[in-house]
Chains A and B, each alone.
Chain A
Amino acid sequence: MAKPKVAFYWCASCGGCEEAVVDLNEDILKVADALHIIFWPVALDFKRKDVEALSDGEIAVSFINGAVRSGEQEEMVKLLREKSGLVVAFGSCAHLGGIPGLGNFWTRDTIFRRVYKETPSTENPEGTLPQQKTDIGVGELTLPEFYDTVKTLDQTIPVDYYLPGCPPPPDLIMNAINAILAGQLPEKGTVLAPSKALCDTCPRNETKPQKLSIAEIKRPWEIKLDPEKCFLAQGVICLGPATRSGCGERCIKANMPCRGCFGPVDGVLDQGAHFLSALASIIDYNDPEEIQKIIDDIVDPAGTFYRFGLPASLLRRTKM
């Protein structure tokens, strides 16, 4: 039986997901042996014409990472969808929008203005901005269209499975690949990670009091972080309660609080709103003035609660 054909593609991505695949180390040889990797723009050839020449569904699985924020990326993922049996959204950016999703607090114009005109090291007296088409005398150069709004993968094409994480840890990646090879995948739409919240598997779980209550918010630099106590019990904002488990709590073990990269657990429509609700519930005051004081210390709620998931949220972006 022929080896299943597999493709890896990247949209607005940092490349960390690509590195995560390489970090499978020796396991990558088993993978390479069992699969026929036909596209991997970082490593193997990627040519649009090759993809176009395939028949629909000829690629068994396409792993697509990165958020969608340009015309070129959108075209490419639509093409891959046509040619693939399964599409897996690989990593936080494809799943939820990821860090590039924070661009949804702004627009293309405001971003361009800052990057190409306003930063103190930019020297641009003519106010030149990147153009989709530039005539350079001897010919024309083009750049892809840059969208105002960052989209998740499933806001662009139908997605079959999600591998969460920034980046997804090696064991989750191997589990997913093994499941594909064995033909034992769960129901479509599933996120390929446990359905528990992080608090359930967190090594600091035991130190979480029955009634968790925050009297004062502490930012991570304001106190010497206790390496064993639940962060919320220390007054430090940690998105554990609203975040899916499966990452191995790597950040927690390095003594830093969770920032939610795995996204929400099943059935939660909006991770940020969910966390807002949870955090507000454990504020230790009933007096409106005391409550307001604590709220003043909760800085950047939108950027903290939606750090990885702004495009996937209900509101998706700021008002334009």
Chain B
Amino acid sequence: MDKFEPKIVAFCCNWCSYAGADLAGTSRIQYSPNIRIIRVMCSGRVSPLFVLKALSVGADGVLVLGCHPGDCHYIEGNYKTLRRIPLLKKMLKQFGIEEERVRLEWVSASEGARFAEVANSFTKTIKKLGPSSLGSSKQNYQEEKYG
């Protein structure tokens, strides 16, 4: 029987969370294979547009991971993220997209285990929510502009 395997995109900042993910790997800590990681220099680089694009092309869930507040390599970047993601989640609700499909977490470079924990718990959440079904209605979302 087909079990639903979510497609999850995780935007990880270069200095903290990506390094944390790396550490999880080298430490041989098992974590959900549903995560597709995209490295950005800072979580502040994650435009709401990226999250919308990921959802519109079929991601069932989107993780945004950054440095703990106060530790951002670029000083303020993650504060911007801290303001953007909650507002984005509020707006997504109006589109019928559950708030739980987008999550913001802080993961430092030394937190390999935490990265795995976040990945696993988020995957569980999305499995319970089911497919986002946005990507599947190709008619609505995948038409490219003409000309």
Chain A directly contacts chain B within the complex, with at least one CB pair under 8 Å: yes
Interface residues of A (CB under 8 A from B): 105, 149, 154-155, 157-160, 188-189, 269-270, 272-274, 276-277, 279-281, 283, 285-286, 288, 291-292, 295, 298, 300-303, 305, 313-320
Contact A277 B48 (CB under 8 A): yes
Partner pick for A158 among B134, B137, B146, CB 8 A cutoff: B146
9 pairs, CB–CB < 8 Å, chain A vs chain B: A157-B146, A159-B146, A272-B91, A280-B80, A281-B84, A286-B82, A288-B82, A319-B95, A319-B132
Q: Which chain B positions have C-beta within 8 A of A272?
A: 91
Known: A158-B146, A281-B80, A302-B95. A274 touches B49 (CB 8 A): yes
5 A-B pairs with the lowest CB-CB distances in the bound complex, closest first: A158-B147, A319-B96, A302-B94, A158-B146, A280-B84
Q: How many residues of B contact A (CB 8 A)?
A: 32
| Min CB–CB distance A214 → chain B (angstroms) | 10
Roughly how many angstroms separate A188 CA and B47 CA in the complex, as a whole number?
A: 28
Given contacts A154-B146, A280-B80, A302-B95, 8 further A-B contacts (CB under 8 A): A273-B49, A281-B84, A286-B69, A314-B52, A314-B141, A317-B95, A319-B96, A319-B97
B33 in the interface (beta carbon within 8 A): no
Q: Which chain B positions have C-beta within 8 A of A286?
A: 69, 79, 82
Contact A316 B141 (CB under 8 A): yes
Known: A291-B82, A318-B94. A188 touches B87 (CB 8 A): no
| Min CB–CB distance A280 → chain B (angstroms) | 4
Q: Which chain A positions have C-beta within 8 A of B147?
A: 154, 158-160, 188-189
Contact B91 A276 (CB under 8 A): yes
B145 in the interface (beta carbon within 8 A): yes
**Dominant SS at the B interface?**
helix
Please, which residue of chain B has its CB at the minimum distance from the CB of A284?
B83
Roughly how many angstroms separate A298 CA and B86 CA in the complex, as a whole number?
A: 11
B28 in the interface (beta carbon within 8 A): no
Q: List the count of A-B residue pairs having beta carbons below 8 Å apart.
A: 99
Contact A320 B137 (CB under 8 A): yes
Partner pick for A273 among B52, B69, B86, CB 8 A cutoff: B52
Known: A270-B52, A286-B69, A319-B97. A276 touches B87 (CB 8 A): yes
Q: Which chain A positions have C-beta within 8 A of B146?
A: 154-155, 157-159
B53 in the interface (beta carbon within 8 A): yes
| Min CB–CB distance A203 → chain B (angstroms) | 29
| Min CB–CB distance B68 → chain A (angstroms) | 12
Q: Which chain B positions have C-beta within 8 A of A320?
A: 137, 140
Interface positions of B from 46 to 75, Cβ below 8 Å from A = 47-49, 52-53, 55-56, 69
Q: Which chain A positions have C-beta within 8 A of B137?
A: 320
